Amino acid sequence: MKALTRTATLLAAIVAVSALAGASAQAAERCRTAEECKGPLPQICMRCKDGKDACAHWACVRHRCVIETCPRQYQRS
């Protein structure tokens, strides 16, 4: 449980830093698909609620590029 909390905290920190770093560039360009999103990804993987493992990848959520590991419906809370 402690390792999961540490991983979730690390992921949240990575997402926050990447959002701050790319906020001005992303504000000008809005995405329609994840293929339009570019940039470095953290080397992190985790087990999702559906039991499958997933690694960090780009996703286009509400026309904004975000880094996610598990698809939104399978994120652990």
The mean pLDDT of 39-57, rounded to a whole number, is 94
Q: Are strands 45-47 and 53-55 parallel, antiparallel or unpaired?
A: antiparallel
Look up the pTM and report it: 0.57
Query: Residue 63 — φ and ψ, nearest 5°?
Result: 65, 25
Q: Which percentage of the chain shows pLDDT scores above 70?
A: 56
DSSP code per residue over 57-71:
EEEEETTEEEEESS-
